[in-house]
């Protein structure tokens, strides 16, 4: 089984010293340009996020240069010499960054990026010479991107890597079709939505990087953990919370005439939520989202995660059960509707 993945490589800065000018202290001053946008191989436009800046400093000099603005390049003056350079953004945590991408259809999105270059970077700006500093990022599905505007050159190298991480999310309104209740408290039926009632549900799962496993000639699955969840009705919300604490979650993709994606979770143990806490001391909970994909992701031998990246509205079903732990289903519920499915690749 082959998995396709793209990583975004080096975000490089180059500094160019201009002709000498005399300051009040007769210092030699060099100028450098900084490219803050780049065009990918597919025509997408990448940009550093708003409020990004570089800090340039040594024992005698320190300055901060914002990398915001509409221009493709920015120019700054600094005295020639040796410096340490940091790349900053107030909304980025350490190595975890968000780059802005404008696609060829003019839609915009934010893509996750990992800064893998150790900071600070040591550089020497020499008069009439170009000094380059490289900040290396990895970004899923980055393509070939070259920042090369002006004398400060920013370039990106691209590696092909095998990666399996990502987030799978179902989000939208679904109609509660029916429920089946056997045993349990007499008021069990009143705790759940009525047939025909619309319920908003959301479940988002992080697909573990431990890898995908081929379950059959048409099905491939990977383990996952809950990232977030929600519901407009307290009982389905409690169902999500009950399965959340178990972390026995699996994300699967099937091929065939009607390709599907599914997220299933289950847990056995003592109930902890108001809907189920008075039902029994030990229960088994099961929750599944599954929907029809408008494209093939798995053909029986190759899993193409690039094809699944992005958001699409799909016909989706949600199925949930709660039983006494011995196989007696005290509750079974079904939902269906057109909801958003989003898969976000991650390194």
What integer pLDDT is reported at residue 259 of this predicted model?
A: 92
At 81 the three-state DSSP class reads strand
Cβ(137)–Cβ(97) below 8 Å: yes
pLDDT in tens, 234-263: 988 998 888 876 667 889 999 988 899 999
Per-residue pLDDT reduced to its tens digit, 189-235: 778 888 899 999 988 888 876 678 888 888 888 888 878 888 999 98
Is cis: bond before 38, omega within 30 of 0? no
- How crowded is residue 274: how many other Cβ atoms within 10 Å of its Cβ? 12
Phi, psi of 307 (to 5 degrees): -65, -25
pLDDT value at residue 31: 60
CB atoms within 10 A of CB 9: 20
Residue 60, classed as helix, strand or coil, is coil
Q: How far is CA 56 from the centre of its chain?
A: 31
The phi, psi pair for 188, rounded to 5°, reads -55, -40
Is the Cβ–Cβ distance between 55 and 63 less than 8 Å?
Answer: yes
**pLDDT tens for each residue of the chain, 347 residues long:** 433 333 333 344 433 333 333 333 346 766 666 667 776 666 777 788 888 888 888 888 888 888 887 777 777 778 888 888 888 888 876 778 888 888 888 888 888 777 777 888 888 887 877 676 666 766 665 433 334 333 333 343 444 444 457 888 899 999 988 766 656 666 777 788 888 999 999 888 888 766 788 888 888 888 888 788 889 999 889 988 888 766 678 899 999 888 999 999 888 888 999 988 888 888 889 999 999 999 888 887 788 877 788 888 999 999 888 887 666 667 888 899 999 998 887 76
- Residue 35 — left, alpha, or beta (φ > 0 → left; ψ -120 to 50 → alpha)? beta
- Residue 252's nearest CA partner among 267, 266, 265 is 265
Contact present, 139 and 112 (Cβ < 8 Å): yes
CB-CB contact of 132 with 148 (8 Å): no
Tokens for 269, please give them.
């143990």
How confident is the model at residue 1, as a pLDDT?
Answer: 42
Quick one: 106 exposed, middle or buried, by C-beta within 10 A (0-12, 13-18, 19+)? exposed
The residues that bridge with 242 in the sheet, in sequence order, are none
Locate tokens 């999500």: which residue? 240
Say if residue 157 is exposed, middle or buried (CB neighbours under 10 Å; 0-12, 13-18, 19+). middle
Pairing of strands 2-3, 198-207: unpaired
Token duo for residue 212? 């995908």
CB-based contacts of 186, cutoff 8 Å, min separation 6 = none
φ/ψ of residue 237, rounded to 5: -60, -45
Cα dihedral 182, 186, 190, 193 in deg (nearest 10): -10
3-state SS assignment for residue 239: helix
């Amino acid at each position: 089984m082959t998995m396709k993945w793209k990583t975004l490589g080096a975000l490089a800065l180059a500094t160019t010293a201009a002709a000498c000018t005399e300051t009040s202290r007769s210092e030699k001053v060099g100028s450098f340009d900084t490219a803050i946008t780049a065009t990918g191989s597919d025509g997408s436009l990448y940009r550093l996020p708003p409020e990004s800046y570089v800090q340039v400093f040594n024992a005698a000099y320190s300055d901060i240069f914002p990398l915001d603005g509409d221009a493709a390049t920015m120019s700054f003056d600094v005295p020639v010499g040796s410096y340490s350079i940091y790349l900053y953004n107030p909304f980025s945590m350490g190595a975890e960054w968000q780059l802005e991408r404008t696609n060829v259809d003019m839609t915009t999105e934010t893509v996750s990026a990992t800064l893998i270059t150790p900071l600070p970077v040591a550089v020497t700006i020499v008069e009439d010479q170009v000094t380059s500093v490289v900040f290396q990022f990895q970004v899923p599905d980055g393509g070939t991107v070259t920042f090369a505007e002006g004398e400060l050159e920013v370039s990106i190298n691209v590696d092909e890597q095998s990666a399996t991480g990502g987030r799978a999310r179902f989000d939208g309104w679904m109609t509660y079709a029916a429920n089946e209740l056997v045993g349990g408290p007499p008021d069990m039926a009143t705790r759940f939505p009525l047939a025909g009632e619309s319920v908003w549900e959301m479940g988002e799962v992080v697909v573990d990087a431990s890898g995908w496993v081929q379950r059959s000639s048409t099905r491939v699955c990977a383990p996952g953990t809950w990232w977030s969840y929600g519901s407009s009705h307290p009982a389905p919300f409690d169902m999500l919370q009950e399965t959340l604490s178990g972390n026995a979650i699996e994300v699967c993709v099937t091929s065939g005439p009607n390709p599907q994606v599914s997220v299933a979770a289950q847990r056995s143990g003592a109930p902890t939520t108001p809907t189920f806490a008075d039902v029994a001391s030990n229960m088994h909970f099961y929750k599944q989202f599954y929907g029809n994909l408008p494209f093939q992701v798995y053909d029986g031998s190759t899993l193409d995660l690039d094809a699944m990246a992005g958001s699409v509205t799909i016909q989706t079903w949600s199925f949930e059960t709660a039983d006494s732990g011995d196989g007696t289903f005290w509750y079974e519920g079904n939902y269906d509707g057109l909801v958003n499915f989003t898969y976000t690749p991650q390194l």
